[in-house]
Structure 1
């Protein structure tokens, strides 16, 4: 396909059709594939010939999804996994071994904290946390055994930003792999590989699906790195199902138009929240009050669909706000067509200590709002209802 436009690539990148000439991509619900003869079986398993051998390794639906996402991210290729956390675990597992060190941003998803704190520590892998708002401290924290720098930007749930090109410069100077979790931005708003990162990771469960209906993960990078990912994933088995790959590939066809509306609505919500006395702090990348506003404007096309706020009144204030919402869903997911409110301290980040939460700006009064695609007047009206319920 000749087009370089994001929307066209997302819609028109597709597998070959069968003899039935389907307009919509079919679902290939098969666990294995037949071979023409014994020699073809041998050649395929010896990687001397390209083709499908088993759906844990590859499937036409996952292959289409990977091809499409690689084009959108500016990657050579990629690997699809069953969930976003499977993508993170697979990336860590493929490249890290006993004695290695990871330098991670402090503000990461709660389950990523658990991997670093409780899982990889059992395997002799160490880590340190660095602060996204103190980029000048990162290089000094790189150790002789540092293998990977891992960063969420924008972060979950603090919406902190760091200059990816700056991290890429110092990581290359020290021979360290740079992995960016690009889940909140998507390739429509931010392309980490083009800024110098080695790997871009997605929880496809979020905006790539965008409708709260399926799970998936994606890892994008150059062929040499993804070959290592594939070698680990083939045997550890975090495979994405063909059906979920089909859903996600179809979802990408509307990613651009959905993200435009998410961003438009979220900016209006963030600007409204800044005017309310009940609100202590509002974090949104494209608010001029955001500490990393200039960096966000440089490396992101728009600000994304997530707004984080800290309310006056602590836990009681947060609960009253959430209980006053009539339309927003109260759930731990995000990036849905439906607007969602989450209290991170008692849900997504409840396994962290109070001190650890405070270090990344998660207070008892903090709320994460995933702004959906409803009419902006209804969204703002519901936020107002929540604030008024605080008394």
Structure 2
């Protein structure tokens, strides 16, 4: 594909970054399972010298990721946290980061347990009102970290509003786009400097790969990320890159079904007597539904809900009764998953901090898969009865 911008999303998902193998004409990108490459003379090679630095299978995936996010430069990492690690490594001791108070527990953990001891300061604030960001900015603020929709409270943050604030103060804005994927949301188009993905989730889509990715349009940022990727070595292997390239080809089809099933599940839960609150940005009474409608192309398949019997024991009772929804970490696969954030994905966040953002002990998070919706509703009915 010579000009990705001339194609719509589904076409890019299938073709971007992928060309027939020049050696054999193979349609699928080969798995270049090699560590090193022959050189005709010292420093003279065909663009590849060592697979930590470059690998043709990874290159194809990175170009695909960049195209999907309407970006120029893509970088893949061994995990989503590896991608986050690379972004924070662009900072220096004394720098400050403003992040949402409601975010993935792994992000909170790497911020507070790994990077704070190196002199980087993190502020966690309510970003549902984007004006709150401005009040926290100091001369040391170098990065604004946005996650939207947030995990697991489904808070919507105004990316375009955050970008205007960031640009006015010459601050880098990075958006974790894992829940939405490029199919539903494109942060770079809204003014973000970097978009981050846990590729493990929807992009790979089949619960068989752990990977992360970053995309940017900034040449300066790309140079830093490329150096960090090479120097730190948190790269994915070619087999995993091959699997993600395969997964990407059906991303648009899967996300369409995730959205359809998600809407049906959310509406069912809202009518269920045992359920207290349902958190899903597609509801018109969601606090920032208007922002979600403006910056997203759909509302996704992630839903959280709390029970009227607001105890951990009540949540566990429901989770144990599911038959199709599997109790497991992670999200975004073709199969439906359920989880208990307070004791699983967000256990690393202190209870007092969880409660500040409304993450109660009865909160259950659903990753609605692509099964037949009638069967999923039957499973929900019997588990909540």
Q: Does TM-score exceed 0.5, indicating one fold?
A: yes
Instruction: Give the secondary-structure state (helix, strand or coil) at the position aligned to 2:342.
Output: helix
**Offset of 1:112 from its aligned partner?**
0.9
**Offset of 1:354 from its aligned partner?**
1.3
Q: Does residue 209 of structure 2 align to residue 214 of structure 1?
A: yes
Q: Tell me how far apart the structure 1 counterparts of residues 64 and 109 of structure 2 sit (CA, whole Å).
A: 31
Alignment of 1:251-290 (within 5 A): 251-290=247-286
**Offset of 1:134 from its aligned partner?**
2.7
Q: Tell me how far apart the structure 2 counterparts of residues 115 and 373 of structure 1 sit (CA, whole Å).
A: 32
Match of 2:199 among 197, 201, 204: 204
Q: Tell me how far apart the structure 2 counterparts of residues 168 and 296 of structure 1 sit (CA, whole Å).
A: 16
**Offset of 1:131 from its aligned partner?**
0.6
Q: 4+ residue runs of structure 1 moved beyond 4 angstroms?
A: none
Aligned to 1:47: none
Aligned to 1:230: 226
Q: Is the 8 A contact 1:164 1:195 kept in 2?
A: yes
Alignment of 1:24-173 (within 5 A): 24-40=28-44, 51-93=47-89, 95-173=90-168
**Offset of 1:227 from its aligned partner?**
1.2
Q: TM-score scaled to structure 2, two decimals?
A: 0.96
Aligned to 2:22: 18
Q: What do you get for the CA RMSD once the two structures are aligned?
A: 1.2
Q: Tell me how far apart the structure 1 counterparts of residues 206 and 116 of structure 2 sit (CA, whole Å).
A: 35
**Offset of 1:74 from its aligned partner?**
0.8
Q: Tell me how far apart the structure 1 counterparts of residues 317 and 195 of structure 2 sit (CA, whole Å).
A: 38
Instruction: Give the secondary-structure state (helix, strand or coil) at the position aligned to 1:40.
Output: coil
Long gaps (5+) in structure 1: 42-49
Q: Does residue 310 of structure 2 align to residue 310 of structure 1?
A: no
Instruction: Give the secondary-structure state (helix, strand or coil) at the position aligned to 1:345.
Output: coil
Q: Is the 8 A contact 2:20 2:28 kept in 1?
A: no
Match of 1:194 among 189, 192, 211: 189
Match of 2:366 among 366, 369, 376: 369
Q: Tell me how far apart the structure 1 counterparts of residues 229 and 274 of structure 2 sit (CA, whole Å).
A: 48
Q: Is the 8 A contact 1:107 1:158 kept in 2?
A: yes
Q: Tell me how far apart the structure 1 counterparts of residues 112 and 41 of structure 2 sit (CA, whole Å).
A: 49
Q: TM-score scaled to structure 1, two decimals?
A: 0.95
**Alignment deviations for residues 8-40 of structure 1 (CA, whole Å, 9 cap, x no partner):** 111122144132211222111001111112251
- Length, aligned pairs only: 379
Aligned to 2:382: 385
Instruction: Give the secondary-structure state (helix, strand or coil) at the position aligned to 2:154.
Output: coil
Q: Tell me how far apart the structure 1 counterparts of residues 189 and 128 of structure 2 sit (CA, whole Å).
A: 22
Aligned to 2:9: 6
Identify if the C-alpha distance between structure 1 residues 51 and 16 changes in structure 2 by more than 3 Å, giving closer, same or farther: farther
Q: Tell me how far apart the structure 2 counterparts of residues 137 and 17 of structure 1 sit (CA, whole Å).
A: 50
Query: Which stretch of structure 1 is more off in the superposition, 218-227 or 141-150?
Result: 218-227
Identify if the C-alpha distance between structure 1 residues 365 and 23 changes in structure 2 by more than 3 Å, giving closer, same or farther: same
